[in-house]
Amino acid sequence: MFDRLGEMLSLEFMRRAFLGGILVGASCAFLSVFVVLRRLAFVSQGVSHAAFGGVALAVLVGINPSLGALVFSVGTALAIGGVSRRRSWVEDSSIGIFLAVSMALGLLFLGLKRGSATGLYGYLFGSILSILPSDLPWMIGLTCLVFLVLLVFMKELYFYVFDETMARVAGVPVDALYFGLLILLAVTISLGMKLVGAILVTALLVIPGATARFLTSNIVVLIPLSIAIGVLGVILGLTLAYLVNVSPGASIVVVLFLGFLGAFLASGQRS
């Protein structure tokens, strides 16, 4: 057992996976608190599927797939936000429409691509091997950006997620915060795609915050607890994936779900 763990840490691609995973887990888990409190889980699902369309388009035109995912997901997030702000009652419908259309465009772009594009399916389900040395600098930069923005606007975000009406009356720029959260969602989704894939990255944006919410109602404790859960889930999931030889994305999500289930059962016993 310990020999396998030592062997795992001696592999360069696993060290990259752990570093990238910790960055992804921390940024997604930080944002997860606001996703859960503001009920943006379905929005994140729509944006994550849009990111795959961006990857396919980027490959078709010959640019970096990660850049394509970032640009396409940001555009989709802003489009969803624009539609829902103009007609709040169609938010769920607009998300569902953008989700389906973006995935359809992704498949269309793949069909137009000459030659094999099977490697792109790693962006759907994630792949440890897909995290390259050249990916780490921009992953570090985007993670720092997510943390910086959330920390700078922490007070306004708390006010907004708990009572939007009062925040608006108090002069808090509610619309700017809403679109800002959507952009951060797109950024974190583009971060997590190569590790867990577009289909599973939503779990990193929902489960840590939801798990932490079961364990504490103290808002000061909620964020660091959510980050700890996200990072620990990624570390344990990657380790399990290597030892058992299963999909890293699926392993991470299952580990996070087991933590969520344990927190749910524990909270039920306390009540």
- 48-106 per-position pLDDT tens digit: 888 888 888 888 887 877 788 888 888 888 888 887 777 655 667 777 787 788 888 88
Note the pLDDT of residue 4: 78
* Dihedral sign of CA atoms 258, 73, 142, 36 in order: negative
3-state secondary structure of 192: helix
Note the pLDDT of residue 257: 95
Mean pLDDT in the chain?
84
Average the pLDDT over each of 1-5, 88-92, 120-124, 254-258 and give the range with the smallest value.
88-92
Note the pLDDT of residue 206: 93
Note the pLDDT of residue 40: 84
Note the pLDDT of residue 61: 81
Q: Does residue 118 surpass a pLDDT of 60? A: no
Domains (ranges, CATH) in the chain? Answer: 2-265 (1.10.3470.10)
Give the pLDDT band of residue 270 (cuts 50, 70, 90).
low
- pLDDT, one tens digit per residue, over 192-239 is 887 788 778 889 999 999 999 999 888 889 999 999 999 999 999 999
Average the pLDDT over each of 27-41, 76-90, 147-161 and give the range with the smallest value.
76-90
Percent of the chain at pLDDT above 70? 91
Q: In the predicted model, what is the mean pLDDT of residues 238-258?
A: 90
Query: Which has the closest alpha carbon to 228: 18, 32, 29?
Result: 29
DSSP string, 98-146: HHHHHHHHHHHHHHHSSS--GGGGHHHH--GGG--TTHHHHHHHHHHHH
Q: Does residue 261 surpass a pLDDT of 70? A: yes
Average the pLDDT over each of 49-53, 56-60, 124-128, 156-160 and give the range with the smallest value.
124-128
Q: Does residue 259 surpass a pLDDT of 60? A: yes
Q: In the predicted model, what is the mean pLDDT of residues 6-33?
A: 89
Query: Which token pair is 190?
Result: 């583009």
To the nearest 5 percent, what fractions of the chain are helix, strand and coil? 85, 0, 15
Angle of helix 201-215 relative to helix 41-61, nearest 10 degrees, comes to: 160
